[in-house]
Structure 1
Amino acid sequence: MMLAVAGLTVRYGALTAVSEVDIEVADGEVLALLGPSGCGKSTLLRAVAGLEPPSAGVIRWDGTDLAGVPVHRRGFGLVFQDGQLFPHRNVAGNVAFGLRMRRLPGRETRVAELLEMVGLAGYEHRRVTELSGGEQQRVALARALAPRPRLLLLDEPLSALDRALREQLAMDLAAVLRVAGATALVVTHDHDEAFTLADRVAVMRAGRITQTGPPEQVWRHPVDEDTARFLGCGLFVPGEVRDGVVTCELGSAALPWAPDGEVTLGLRPTALRLAETGISGKLIRSVHRRDHVRLQVRLDGTDQLVDAVAGIAETPGDRVHLALDADGLAVLGGHSRQGE
């Protein structure tokens, strides 16, 4: 079974929120719709769910056109940003609501099985108002999985949580989706979250899909500068790859995943790191982040400012050396654009 969206367009008057989108999600696959706020990704998901009427295009499940099929008959599970739990029901009551038929044989067993799956075994009688934000989202996920939906739709399911909890829950959610064998479409603006959860990523901008592919391919080969900027690249320089080594004005680094030839490199802040030797410059700013120090350096002999990272703080005004690190590099000109 498979979800297939062809030529989907959603308009609100003169505003086109989604424009001629083609996507497919195969059985057991997790596809992430990744893009900035306002790009149309949530509207696309809502159209798939049946919550927004398409202006044009077709949404099919296993070859059957879903036009006219109401939300509750599509067999899709929905998880939203706030979970939308019922405060008057306990945890088990919320999960069981997804089963619809309260006297269904094995109902309690299914609820217990799902709570075990999402890491909440023994929470059946807890009030949902007593749970943390992360625990509430786990309950919402269990409720959505309860009736064994043929497609799970998740709209920014972790965005309301703090960063550390979001990272942990993303890993847990990825494991749950794999264990459940779920087919899922996940909307997110966070590329770390998308790459943790998804088998494939579809990057969306201004209502259109600009690139699709496995997470590693999208990360290393963004299709254009706008996509690369969204994925964290702030500086672009020409370079050349020969025998698995890239050379540019900022240094050289092993790059075995890039073909030989002239390239445009996108540099994330982690592409330049504090080193004993390398290009030199004056440290302008040093800012502590959660797991590293972000540096801003003015290169010697130029007015160019570059970002870099270090393990320890340095004193502004000091002269430092920076070396190129391949982990922070992207080679522009990705593959799998929509329509190719």
Structure 2
Amino acid sequence: MSESGAFFPVSVKKFMEKGITSLSEEEKMSTLHYLENAYHQEPCNEEIVHRLIQFYNQTNKTKKAQEIGQNFLTMNGYNKDILGELSITFMQEDNMDTYFTLVRHYMEEEQNEDTQQVTNNVIPFPKQFIPRKDIRDFASWQTAEQLEFLQEARFLEIDDFLPAFKVFLADESFSPFVQSMIFELMQEKEIDEEIEVRKINKHGIFNPKKVPMLADNMFASELFTGLADKLEHSNPSLFEQVIGIIQQHLFMIYPFEFEPKDVNVWVNAYYKWANAMYGDKTMISDPVNHELMEEAISTIEELEIRQQNYFI
């Protein structure tokens, strides 16, 4: 099987290019059947494992995604793409601490292979934290290295890192997830200055100290409440899946917000889009601007495609 997936069936290629929302129910079943069978035959095949984790993530089977991802890493060691896909898994489970522990473990393991072993009876003297690479080249680091560094930076003064972070935030070609983590770090450190942010065709100037933390976003809270009214009792599993997806979308565009700021538009847009994933052409009876709702659905679909294209 080639790295491009040239020998994958049509439904799998479609999933790889356009995501789960592009598949019919029959195509989803055939894609899952193929990937699971291929995995059982070749559990160490990086591309098969990567795509199967991706499929599980997009169908809210995060426990399965975590299991096969960690099994692969245990058997094969550090792998950038598998770790990247697992980041989405752990984000959906609100368990990024475990992800960072994995990243640190494999990055340290990789580093140890390139350094001379220290004699067992030598106790190293504590040193000031120094990045393994020049922070000015932060944008060129692998994403796993960027994430590991940002986790470490939570316990440090970050003034010396700000120039590199500003360059990263102002370039929309970089991962929007990493950009969001940098901005949140700036908020935690109460950086009080105007910062330029470009991501996902958006451009703005934000002061981290003056922007509410994403966890305190009232719009998001109202959006979740509106969806709970529609789904929590009638389809609780779909409700949990949609909430996870929305959290990822909000984090991806942060510090930007959904436009228009009409909660009813977005409640109905996510409700209609989520039901459509399962072939349910739900009719919206709520009083809502249907033109704005369809534009919101287009935005949701674009965010799903972008999410699949970025290694967090």
User: Could you tell me the TM-score, scaled by structure 2's length?
Assistant: 0.26
Q: Higher relative CO (CA 8 A, sep ≥ 6), structure 1 or 2?
A: 1
Structure (1 or 2) with the larger CA radius of gyration: 1
